[in-house]
Amino acid sequence: MDVRAQIVMVFNLDKCIGCHTCSISCKNIWTDRKGAEYMWWNNVETKPGVGYPRHWENQERFKGGWVVDGKSLKLKAMGKGPTLLNMFFQPNLPKIEEYYEPFDFDYGNLAGAKAGDDQPTARAFSQISGKPIEEIQGGPNWDDDLSGSQIYAAQDPNLQEKQVIDSYASMFMQYLPRICNHCLNPACAASCPSRAIYKRGEDGIVLVDQEVCKGWRFCTSACPYKKVYFNWDSGKAEKCIFCYPRVEGGQCNACAHSCVGRIRYVGVLLYDADGVEGAALKGDAELVQAHRNLILDPRDPAVRAAAKKNGISERWLDAAEKSPVYTLVKEFGLALPLHPEFRTVPMAYYIPSLSPVLSTWGDTHKLLEHGMIPALETLRVPVGYLASILSGGNREVIEEALKKLIALRVFMRSANLKKESDSAALAEAGLDAAAAKRLYRLFTLASYDERNVIPPQQREEQDPERRKQQGGFGILKKTGRGR
Amino acid sequence: MLNNLIFIALPYAALALVLLVTPYRFLSNRLTWSAYSTQFLERKFLFWGINPWHYGIIPILTAHILGFAFPGLFKPFLGNQQTLLLVESFGLGLGLFALMGCLILLLRRVNSGMLSRVTYGSDWLVLLLLVFQAGTGIYVSYFLRWGTQWYLHSAVPYLWSVVSFNPQLGYVAELPLAVKLHAAGAFLIVAVLPFTKLVHLLYLPVDFLKDPPIPYRWRTK
């Protein structure tokens, strides 16, 4: 058992209102720079939809992630030899248009235009070429809130029942906030010929070493989530850094901190590094269980002993015990990995969203007939759709999670109405009253420190003189072309 | 005069620059050490430029370097007329391939929307130098036959005399002008190498062939 620690984020999709505050705070801190205008390390997309970049889930186009090859894993795109041969022209690289051509508006013209008969306008111009854009062709949320759903939502590869988007009666939507998953088996790192992308041993954050990256661009397509971006100015790859300068000091990520719906939880998971490849080799439907099996119980003395042997400190073990992520992912099985079938063993987890019973005119008033826990196939968001996104097609794990969430609501509703609390529904879903109260607290009242249990990094635990040696003022060197 | 410039001043200037500036750039700011790919912004023409260029120039450059490093190794093979013919025609083909590639790369930079923002003086300089070098190389290869052989007996001993700091112009002084220009182009390319994106060719991405797939970095280990 090779116990390692990983810092993990959980998203409660049921509470995401799609306000994009997370994206904006991330953008303002990290990607408000030349060459990075089009990058959204954190983005929120509407599902069903094609997302950002468009069709990122389509691995036939981008060849991201891993595939099982007999008894081992291999990158879907290409092996090492072909990597060398495709170094000059990387065939799977996304185009700028598949994200969008970044633009701004010429606001200066509003005040600076020459006197004339017409009101001056602020025309859109490209942030790359600087030339005016007559018609903007895309943006970071081009299909936000189902806009253009016949074009975009209809192409969502997870949506089997395409007809649901044809009528308002059956239409549904939900939001999917995405950051880098800081995978246990990152395809971006494996694809890098320069070895610039690495996983930090202590907390599992995946980073691009900007000094080592030569811009060979294999990572951008190898990441099945398209969360490694090519900076067109610096000629290097960039990605979400899990706000490590904040997290190292015990603060939570900017996206999680600014989340108005408080949908995000940040905490530590312990996992068995020896089992990662084996877990990723499992069949699609078994992948969620394989993820859960990888995650170790921080209260287990054997795990603690092995963790200490690996240099995981007492404070990290304490944080792992209090981790809301452990509660949601392993203990209650509510949070599920995003597209586990890409086999990168992603370490961001999503609690599926609830949805009302799909009712049409006529049976709207007969809702109570559906009982306290309605049949899940009557829910507006098809279970198969959620399964395609969050469980590699395994409907059972989605149903289990949804049942728990509904039972929790039923239970708390009766408690709030001072009725006899309905433990039957809870029991049916595999919960008890104590568990329900804990989850209720975590979902609703939990304070910042309960939602984000982030131990200080070893940097903080080092002697002051060593810590100061490693401190600095950030990057003061110039980057970019033409230098 | 021209001989002194091309065969003494230029090579030593180039050598000094590449040996001094390269480590300086490596140690002072590796953030600019990149191949500066533009594929993200334009790929239609790039495909037809970048692939022919690299697939053409890499074998040719390797042949030049190997010929310089191990001249004795090749001399016995090249005595055979048929082998020589085969090597020369193969080389000429690759050279034409490379020239086509770098011409496309040069033309693609002209009047191209988004690329204009990522095109600097150094890009033009490098592309023009490469076109010049490929062009003179092809001229020499076609009109001054059996260069594969006489390269080993003129340029190679001269280059060795340069690196041993005792330049012997006798080997190269009487060569035709085209060859001298080709040599001058080579020294210029070496001279601008540490200042431009050409530094990417000083890094061969071969480590990953033997490494485990996921690199870890530990602060404490």
Split chain B (221 residues) into runs of 10 and give each run's mean pLDDT: 88 96 92 92 94 96 93 81 89 95 94 86 94 96 87 91 91 91 95 93 87 87 64
What are the tens digits of pLDDT across the range A249-268? Answer: 888 999 999 999 999 999 99
Window from A365-369, A438-442, B104-108 with minimum mean pLDDT:
A365-369
% pLDDT > 90, chain A: 75
CATH number reported for the structural domain that contains residue A437 in this entry = 3.30.70.20
Per-residue model confidence (pLDDT) at position A467: 62
- What pLDDT shows up at residue B221? 64
Q: Residue B95 in contact with residue B60, Cβ under 8 Å?
A: yes
B216 to chain A, any CB pair closer than 8 A? The answer is yes
What whole-number distance in Å separates Cα of residue A382 and Cα of residue B176?
A: 78
* Amino acid sitting at position A181: N
More confident residue, A370 or B150: B150
Q: With beta carbons less than 8 A apart as the criterion, state whether A280 and A305 touch.
A: no
Token pair of A119, please?
């009101």
Q: Note whether A90 contacts B: Cβ–Cβ < 8 A.
A: yes
Integer Cα distance of A174 and A276 in angstroms = 31
Range of lowest pLDDT (A45-49, A167-171, A445-449, B53-57): A167-171
Which tens digits make up the pLDDT trace of A96-111? 999 999 999 999 999 9
How far apart are the CA of A86 and the nearest CA of chain B, in angstroms? Answer: 9
Parallel, antiparallel or unpaired: strands A348-351 and A3-12: parallel
Q: Residue A171: is its pLDDT beyond 90? A: no
**Collapsed DSSP state (helix, strand, coil) of residue B217:** strand
Chain B, nearest residue to A84 by Cα: B205
pLDDT digits (tens, 9 = 90+) for A9-40: 999 999 999 999 999 999 999 999 999 999 99
Q: Is the Cβ pair B34, A190 closer than 8 Å?
A: no
Q: Locate the chain A residue with the closest alpha carbon to B121.
A: A482
Site from B97, B111, B117 to mutate, A interface, most A CB atoms within 10 angstroms: B117
Interchain contact, B208 vs A214, CB within 8 Å: no
B53–A195: do the CB atoms touch at under 8 Å? no
Query: How much of chain A exceeds pLDDT 70, in percent?
Result: 92
Scanning every residue of chain B, which has its alpha carbon at the shortest distance from the alpha carbon of A212? B30
Asked if A313 is an interface residue toward chain B (Cβ–Cβ < 8 A), one would say: no
The residue with greater pLDDT, A212 or B112, is: A212
Counting DSSP H helices and E strands in chain B, the numbers are 10, 1
Query: What's the mean per-residue pLDDT of chain A?
Result: 90
Length of chain A: 483
Distance CA A444, CA A437 (A): 10
Count of domains for chain A: 1
Residue A354 reports pLDDT greater than 70: yes
pLDDT band (50, 70, 90) for residue A461: low
At the topology level, CATH places domain B2-27+44-201 in: Fumarate Reductase Cytochrome B subunit (1.20.950)
Asked if A238 is an interface residue toward chain B (Cβ–Cβ < 8 A), one would say no
Name the residue of chain B whose CA is nearest to A185's CA.
Answer: B214
Between the CA of residue B37 and those of A90, A110, B44, B197, what are the distances in Å?
Answer: 10, 37, 14, 10
pLDDT of residue A375: 80
A108 in any annotated domain? no
> Quick one: pLDDT at residue A134?
93
Scan residues 174-193 of B and list those with Cβ closer than 8 Å to A.
none
The two structure tokens encoding residue B46 = 């790039």
Residue B111 confidence (pLDDT): 75
Residue A208 lies in a domain: yes
What pLDDT is recorded for position A8? Answer: 97
Inside any domain, residue A128: no
Of the ranges A162-176, A226-240, A350-364, B181-195, which one carries the lowest mean pLDDT score? A350-364
Name every chain B residue with its beta carbon within 8 A of the beta carbon of A89: 39, 43, 46-47, 50-51
Distance from C-alpha of A279 to C-alpha of A283, rounded to nearest angstrom: 9
As a whole number of angstroms, the longest Cα–Cα distance in chain A is 80
- A459, A475, A479 member nearest B32 (Cβ): A479
Mutate one of A2, A191, A195, A214 to test the B interface: name it (highest B CB count within 10 A): A214
- What residue type is assigned to position B177 of the chain? L
Query: Which residues of B, range 6-45, sit inside 8 Å of A by Cβ?
Result: 28-41, 43
Does residue A271 have a pLDDT over 70? yes
Is A250 domain-assigned?
yes
Residues 42-81 of B with CB under 8 A from A: 43, 46-47, 50-51, 53-55
> What pLDDT is stored for residue A289 in this prediction?
96
The alpha-carbon gap from A428 to the nearest alpha carbon of chain B, in Å, equals 42
The pTM of the whole model exceeds 0.90: yes
Dist. CA A206–CA A183, nearest whole Å: 8
Distance of CA A276 to the CA centre of its chain: 19
Distance CA(A80)–CA(A208), nearest Å, equals 19
State the pLDDT at residue B54.
96
Residue A107 lies in a domain: no
Interface test with A, best of B24, B27, B28, B39 (most A CBs within 10 A): B39
User: Is residue A226 within 8 angstroms of chain B, CB to CB?
Assistant: no
pLDDT at B1: 80
CB contact under 8 A, A189 and B116: no
Angle separating helix axes A395-416 and A433-440, nearest 10 degrees: 90
Cβ-Cβ contacts under 8 Å between A and B: the total is: 142
Contact A235 B36 (CB under 8 A): yes
Q: Which residues of B touch A189 (CB under 8 A)?
A: 213-215
Is the Cβ pair B118, A481 closer than 8 Å? Answer: yes
In this prediction, residues A318-335 reach a mean pLDDT of 96
DSSP A331-359: IS---EESSGGG-S---EEEEPPP--B--
> Cβ separation of B113 and A131 shorter than 8 Å?
yes
The parent domain of residue A49 ranges over 1-85+145-360+374-459
Whether A364 has a pLDDT exceeding 60, the answer reads no
Confidence of residue A446 (pLDDT cuts 50, 70, 90): very high
Q: Is the pLDDT of residue A362 over 70?
A: no
Determine, for residues A216 and B35 on separate chains, whether the beta-carbon distance falls below 8 Å.
yes
pLDDT confidence bin for A483, thresholds 50/70/90? low
Please judge whether A234 and B46 are an interchain contact, meaning their C-beta atoms are less than 8 angstroms apart. no
Radius of gyration in angstroms for the set of CA atoms belonging to chain B, rounded to a whole number:
19
| Residue A425 scores a pLDDT above 90 | no
> Contacts of residue A201 in chain B, CB cutoff 8 Å?
216-221
Chain B residues in contact with A80 by the CB 8 A cut-off are 208-209
Could you tell me which chain B residue has the CA closest to the CA of A197? B215
Q: Are A1 and A303 in contact (CB under 8 A)?
A: yes
